[in-house]
Amino acid sequence: MPNRTQAPDLLADPLAEANQPSSLLARFGPDKALQLDSGAVLERWQIAYQTYGSLNESRSNAVLVCHALTGDQYVASRNPVTGKGGWWTAMIGPGKPVDTDRFFVICANVLGGCMGTTGPASTNPETGKPWGLAFPMVTIRDMVRAQAHLVDSLGIDSLFCVAGGSMGGMQVLQWAASYPTRVFSALPLATAAKHSAQNIAFHEVGRQAVMADPDWRQGRYLDEGTRPAKGLSVARMGAHITYLSEPALHRKFGRKLQERSAPTFTFDADFQVESYLRYQGLSFVERFDANSYLYVTRAMDYFDLGADHDGVLAKAFAGTRTRFCVASFTSDWLFPTSDSRAIVHALNAAGASVSFVELESDKGHDAFLLEEPNLFATTRGFIGAAARARGI
């Protein structure tokens, strides 16, 4: 197995991407000020995005893809920082379930992110310095509000489909609740209508790892020319374990040693799984802003769609005409099938059109990102039927 302790060389400068992304960019001024759930208002803000395919004449074929925690707008194209291909090319492209020969696909970096949408690494227009912890706290609903402004700016009244997994799935549910007449179909995958206590706990461990790094400098590391690389790397290592399953880890690594025939009796990366996690941590800190990690994990923690509707999740979808397809995976212990069933039960109670499938997979939470033929068949069937009903 190749040595994974060296992080890959980067291409574009991640710090530059925070303000001047390589992707498309929509800027908004005071006439489109963004009101946040915290009570704060962003007078000037921007959202970075990518598009694929073409918008049809009736503007009825737009698909909004929402990314997960550490994703970005490069859903089906090369990331300018890492040089790697899009994070969902298994699902999106010509002839794929989300067929870019048929649909106009939009994917935006979330509010609070670090790839061009306004966030803590962006320049505060009032100070000329990075926002840092002066950036207001954001929620999943704030992210969706920002996306709605983007969709408006593109002249699209109604989205054919909103799709995403994990945190992206939370955004899908929020879209359906906040803008029911604007979402024809919704595809929330491996997600939940509220973040569990266990998941909040995992996030808190990661945040504490970042904040315990002396180079974090109370969030002022960009001003002071440092970077909490060790803390963020540990946070990523811990989180990455939750995206996998024990069978997947065993199949991939087992107890195999890393480029040695016997233990070293040191704290070096004796095992392949250790080397893999160290590589994941190192490569992550090169492309992701530490403060963004704090903000976006916190947004997931705050998400509780039912609590926003008198504690009754079904009320979030009352009267909806959106078509839903909800999918979970048998080995996903981060967002288990019970979370998806709770969504389905609420949709049923609201009289919504919903289909549900629990997919057999031993790949854990990350299964929605990987080559899963049953997922492709499910989504292709759902999207195809919805497109016929939409007349596209």
Binding-site residues for substrate, in ranges, read: 236, 366
Q: Look up residue 378 and give its two tokens.
A: 């499910």
Residues tagged in the binding site annotation: 236, 366
Q: Would residue 332 show up in a list of annotated catalytic residues for this protein? A: yes
Which among 166, 185, 233, 331 is annotated as catalytic? 166
Indicate which residue of 99, 289, 301, 332 is catalytic.
Answer: 332
Tell me whether residue 149 is one of the annotated catalytic residues: no
* 3-state secondary structure labels for all residues of the chain: CCCCCCCCCCCCCHHHHCCCCCCEEEEECHHHCEECCCCCEECCEEEEEEEECCCCCCCCCEEEEECCCCCCCCCCCCCCCCCCCCCCCCCEECCCCEECCCCEEEEECCCCCCCCCCCCCCECCCCCCECHHHCCCCCHHHHHHHHHHHHHHCCCCCEEEEEEECHHHHHHHHHHHHCHHHEEEEEEECCCCECCHHHHHHHHHHHHHHHHCHHHHHHCHHHHCCCCHHHHHHHHHHHHHHHCCHHHHHHHCCCCECCCCCCCCCCCCCEHHHHHHHHHHHHHHHHCCHHHHHHHHHHHHHCECCHHHCCCHHHHHCCCCCEEEEEEECCCCCCCHHHHHHHHHHHHHCCCEEEEEEECCCCHHHHHHCCCHHHHHHHHHHHHHHHHHHCC
317-330: buried (b, 16+ CB within 10 Å) or exposed (e) per residue? beebebbbbbbbbb
Q: What are the tokens at 336? A: 């288990």
The answer to whether residue 365 is catalytic is yes
Positions annotated as catalytic residues are: 166, 332, 365
